[in-house]
Amino acid sequence: MKMPQPIRQLFDLEKQEFRIVSLSAIYFFLLLCAYYVLRPIRETMGISRSADDLPYLFLGTMVTMLLLAPVIGGLVSKYKRSEFIPIVYRFIIICLLLFFTLLSVVSAENLFYVGVIFYVWLSVMNMLIISLFWGFMSDGISFKNSKRLFPSIAIGGTIGAIFGSTIAQQFIDLLGQTYLLLVSAILFEVAARVMKKIDQEFDSYPQTPARLGESLTKWKIDKNSASKLSQWTSGIRFAISSPYILGIAGYIFCYGITSTFLYFQQGQLVAAATESSTERTQIFANIDIWSNAATLALQLFISRQLLMKFGIGFILLGLPLLTLSGFVALSIAPTLAVLIIFQATRRSLNYGLFKPAREILFTILPQEQKYKAKSFVDTFVYRGGDAIGAITQKGLTAIQLGIGSIALLVVPIAAFWSLLAIYLGKQANRIAEHESHSNQFTGEEKVDE
């Protein structure tokens, strides 16, 4: 695959990187397109009866994640990466076909219950597929190169999100919710096939973390000891035994709590402003389209340059500061317009800048930790933050406290969150430098088998 000169200059790619980055961007495009076709449907189902149902849906999601954690740990231990990720996608396809059947035959009075199951299922699957994707990428791309390549790969996902949201917006009237599920199923199948191709490319790519020795050998365990660990607790043990991974978990937990606060405000304002499910689906799709369009602009012209110039810690610090500013603005003017601006800005900066920075933190972990701890952190810890946020929101609503009280709660969260951002940035650089010096001193090439 020949790399055009303008592409090389725009994305700062080496010749041997073009094929991997292109395929990875296509892979991410397919995943997020498949998800964003379904996302507005989920949002509509979540408030179909009342926005007051959202806290219970979040709690259901957290419980489901807790039950799913040992399953993911078992898959990681039993299958190679090229095998267990497609298994997840094929499971998703089967579920989508079952939902298609249920939504086609279920009576109107039982539609709410199918919607509840769909909401929880998609919330869990979303976290899982994103976690597996970035874990797979960080297993094949080194810490040093990830700062340059991850933003380019993320562009594919952003374009996919725009396409998926547009499909949902434009075809909801023509196809209805049911047939959009089949569109998503087809995209997941194609993604599974592209993933297998990328795995073959990684096998011959000389810049993988394993070949460069970029791994946290301090926490590395051999296969014999790994087999003695209880599979369902492996991810938890990796997380709590490492201050670095625990710091990542804390950062994502804070993000989950504040995202839930904002999500509930969105549900309440949209429910109050609209009546039909089709209209709500289109509003949610529009928010996604604008958010991802802004994300694309960031990824094309800003993200890579900021990551290379300012470093991980500085970038991570931006999310808590932005979140605090947005909630203050929303407490002053609690309108749908302000919420849409805040939500779109936060989402675009998160996916265009903050999330690639977070994913870079995982590139210096060994493969087993990368998948087990990352899956636990990105799913259960994130949804745990959701659940705490949901319970808090429910309590504030019960005592009739509004967005102003939430803004006050965000202040200490943002302060702690900011300290974690600074710590993680320093630790990531220190560990990467230590590994680099160790490799130069030994003159050996370390490979995780």
pLDDT tens track for 280-298: 878 888 888 888 888 888 8
Is residue 445 pLDDT above 50, yes or no? no
Tell me the per-residue pLDDT of 312-323, one tens digit each, with 9 for 90 and over.
Answer: 888 999 999 999
Residue 261: closest CA among 314, 201, 327, 197: 327
d(CA 410, CA 389): 11
Question: Hey, where are the domains in the chain?
Answer: 16-205+236-438
d(CA 288, CA 304): 22
Is residue 23 pLDDT above 90, yes or no? yes
The fourth-level CATH superfamily of domain 16-205+236-438 is MFS general substrate transporter like domains (1.20.1250.20)
First-last CA distance in the chain: 29
| Average pLDDT along the chain | 80
Most confident of 37-41, 204-208, 273-277: 37-41
pTM of the entire predicted model? 0.70
Is residue 212 pLDDT above 60, yes or no? no
Higher pLDDT, 75 or 182: 182
d(CA 28, CA 26): 5
How high is the pLDDT of residue 258? 93
Q: Can you say how many angstroms the Cα of residue 276 is from the centroid of all Cα atoms in its chain?
A: 29
Is residue 342 pLDDT above 70, yes or no? yes
Is residue 34 pLDDT above 90, yes or no? yes
Count CB neighbours of 319 within 10 A.
25
